[in-house]
Amino acid sequence: MQIDAAGLLDTAQFIASPNFDERPAGTHISLLVIHNISLPPNEFGGNGVLELFTNQIDPYAHPYYQSLQGLKVSAHFFIRRDGLIIQFVPCNMRAWHAGVSSWQGKERCNDFSIGIELEGSDTMPFTDAQYAMLIAVTQCLCSRYPIQHIVGHADIAPGRKTDPGPRFDWQKYASSLGDHEYLKTISCS
Ligand SMILES: [Zn+2]
């Protein structure tokens, strides 16, 4: 598994999202943010997330989708229940996944982070295939960028966001990563 100079992962299917822009000049990518998402909520395997990240969601396809109308969001990666990985934004660019957020006093976490969405919800465990892919991607990203902290969306937007939620196994994830020269924090919330 490799990431090229533009920040594209060779094993990912690339589906371009229009929801991105430049990172501020001189930004080091130092944070990895783990999320969960499913659309419709708690339903897996459909195209809702792909449609959301490409501004193609049909607000009439599901009652919940009306609340998503006009939303311009994206993440760098989306890992399906079967471990398939899709990339929407090259890592060198800023994806729009964190929203209003701060980590250790630094606001606008989108500026300096990479966002990984796991297909899932706060109430269901994630699959072994998802952990395997997440761990492989994390190792790849940590070897390519000076990632210092790995956190959940809830850690950078407390009170506003809860993902990846209580069913995400931080211990399992952390223990599989081993020692990394840059990594200072991995959330255990
Ligand atoms: Zn999130």
CATH number, domain at 30?
A: 3.40.80.10
Mean pLDDT, the chain, integer: 95
Residue 107 lies in a domain: yes
Domain membership of residue 97 as a residue range:
13-186
pLDDT computed for residue 150 by the predictor = 95
CA of 115 to the centre of ligand 1 (A): 8
pLDDT digits (tens, 9 = 90+) for 80-130: 999 999 999 999 999 999 999 999 999 999 999 999 999 999 999 999 999
Residue 38: is its pLDDT beyond 80? Answer: yes
User: Cα(111)–Cα(23) distance, rounded to whole angstroms?
Assistant: 5
Give the model's confidence band at 178: pLDDT under 50 very low, under 70 low, under 90 confident, else very high. Answer: confident
Q: 22, 51, 107, 117: which one is catalytic? A: 117
CA of 164 to the centre of ligand 1 (A): 7
Above pLDDT 70, what percent of the chain? 97
Q: What is the mean pLDDT of residues 37-53?
A: 97
Residue 151 lies in a domain: yes
pLDDT computed for residue 141 by the predictor = 96
Give the model's confidence band at 151: pLDDT under 50 very low, under 70 low, under 90 confident, else very high. Answer: very high
**How many domains in the chain?**
1
pLDDT computed for residue 181 by the predictor = 65
CA of 99 to the centre of ligand 1 (A): 9
Residue 188: is its pLDDT beyond 60? Answer: no
Residue 167 lies in a domain: yes
Residue 3 lies in a domain: no
Assess whether 117 carries a catalytic annotation: yes
Residue 4 lies in a domain: no
CA of 159 to the centre of ligand 1 (A): 12
Residue 24 lies in a domain: yes
Per the CB < 8 A criterion, the answer to whether 151 and 32 are in contact is yes
CA of 78 to the centre of ligand 1 (A): 11
CA of 132 to the centre of ligand 1 (A): 20
Which is it for the CA torsion 84, 164, 47, 55, positive or negative?
Answer: negative
Q: Which residues are paired to 20 by β-bridges? A: 95
Residue 1 lies in a domain: no
Give the single-character DSSP code of 181: S
pLDDT computed for residue 186 by the predictor = 81
Residue 8 lies in a domain: no
Q: Quickly list DSSP for 71-135.
A: -----SEEE-TTS-EEE-S-TTEEES-S-S-EETTEE-GGGGEEEEEEE--TTSPPPHHHHHHHH
pLDDT computed for residue 177 by the predictor = 87
pLDDT computed for residue 40 by the predictor = 97
pLDDT computed for residue 45 by the predictor = 97
